[in-house]
Amino acid sequence: MTEPILEVKDLHVRFPVRRNMLGRTTVENHAVSGVDLTLMPGETLGLVGESGCGKTTLGRTIVGAQQATSGSILYDGHDLTALKSREKGRYRRQIRMVFQDPFSSLNPRMTLRQIIGDPLVATGEARGAELEDRVAAIMRKVGLSPDYMDRYPHAFSGGQRQRVNIARALIVNPKLVVADEPVSALDVSVRAQILNLLRELQEEYGLTYLFISHDLSVIENIADRVAVMYFGKIVELAGTAALYERPQHPYTEALMSAVPIPDPALRGRGGRILLPDELPDPANPPPGCAFARRCRYAEPGRCDTGAIPLEDGARCVRQEELDLQGIVEAESTKP
């Protein structure tokens, strides 16, 4: 049986947002509140959810750019949150991040040679002619001519800069790539090219992707499985086709209803569900289900109080209803 490449277990990340006079934290933002995730080698797991739900924080914590408050992150069976810094470095190079904004994430005073080669220079892994060869090789792989090596980022378009970002992430031969909204800042015409490039590179190097996006059509296009994140938690995780055909959680259903459907025969099925209100305040989580105030199925007195119905494998009002329908359907199809 294949072992997972990454296992995230009960991960919590909280940010101090206010301190008292003694410097003690009095208010915290719960950005990630108990996430469990498993990534299998070679797959693309999509992570979707509206802005502010904790996607970037989760991704940054996985690559080690953000400290976990509690929980564990097992890479190849080793808990990254417990490793000593020297060992950490070894695993950290195997997990790399591609950032959203190809404009602000590239240092304008560095040439492409410096930007792309930086991870090798920082570790002392390569210099001189070898460094140049490796930079040139990875530039070709991402579709950039090595002739541009000594130019600065401003000379390039958004799509080309994102290729630079990808080259910088891949030059150390990682196994797992966390791509945080890698096409969101790009023109629609360029998006498909970058998505295709990511797919080709995945095939060639056997990469595993955690692909973060708030855009469901992008996720549908690239992911094998999809995790839906809401207010710091994964509320639903399923194979891409199953999730798009039969969303279970009311939040997923609402997200899906806003996706434009290209096939006119399928359009109008269900209609768009408007999401009222904004996200709850992460420094002050509501009691009960964090989605209850926005949910069209919520039962007052049940969903908005007491134990959070989504935890411990319990299903919410709508999911229970779907379970019942499933049973009824299964019963009625019996011979």
C-beta separation of 206 from 42 below 8 A = yes
33 near ligand ADP, rule: CB under 6 A: no
Q: Give the residue at shortest CB distance from Mg ion.
A: 56
In total, the chain counts a number of residues equal to 335
46 near ligand ADP, rule: CB under 6 A: no
C-beta separation of 186 from 158 below 8 A = yes
Q: How far apart are CA 98 and CA 210, in angstroms?
A: 10
Contacting residue, 29, 33, 44, 56, with Mg ion by CB under 5 A: 56
| Footprint of ligand ADP on 265-284 (CB under 6 A) | 282
Instruction: Compute the least distance from the CB of residue 282 to ligand ADP, in Å.
Output: 4
255 near ligand ADP, rule: CB under 6 A: no
290 near ligand ADP, rule: CB under 6 A: no
Part in contact with ligand ADP (CB under 6 A); list of ranges 50-58, 166-174, 187-195, 261-269: 50-58
Alpha-carbon separation of residue 268 from 183, 271, 273 (angstroms): 28, 5, 11
Cβ nearer to ligand ADP, comparing 56 with 319: 56
Instruction: Compute the least distance from the CB of residue 43 to ligand ADP, in Å.
Output: 21
Residue 122, judged by CB atoms within 10 A of its CB (0-12, 13-18, 19+), counts as exposed
C-beta separation of 154 from 187 below 8 A = no
* SS3 category, 284: coil
309 near ligand ADP, rule: CB under 6 A: no
52 near ligand ADP, rule: CB under 6 A: yes
The label of the residue with tokens 């808990």 reads: 79
Contacting residue, 15, 103, 152, 297, with ligand ADP by CB under 6 A: 15
Query: Which segments of the chain are extended strands (E)?
Result: 6-19, 25-39, 44-48, 70-75, 78-79, 95-98, 176-180, 208-213, 225-230, 233-239
Number of chain positions touching Mg ion (CB under 5 A): 2
Cβ nearer to ligand ADP, comparing 24 with 84: 24
Part in contact with ligand ADP (CB under 6 A); list of ranges 48-56, 143-151, 202-210, 241-249: 48-56
213 near Mg ion, rule: CB under 5 A: no
29 near ligand ADP, rule: CB under 6 A: yes
The four Cα atoms 147, 153, 157, 163 give a dihedral, to 10 degrees, of 70
Contacting residue, 11, 39, 55, 319, with ligand ADP by CB under 6 A: 55
Part in contact with ligand ADP (CB under 6 A); list of ranges 44-52, 197-205, 293-301, 320-328: 44-52
Nearest to 31 by CA among 255, 230, 228: 230
Q: Quick one: three-class SS letters along 213-239?
A: ECCHHHHHHHCCEEEEEECCEEEEEEE
Instruction: Compute the least distance from the CB of residue 56 to ligand ADP, in Å.
Output: 3
Which residues contact Mg ion (rule: CB under 5 A)?
55-56
Which residues contact ligand ADP (rule: CB under 6 A)?
15, 17, 29, 31, 49, 51-57, 282
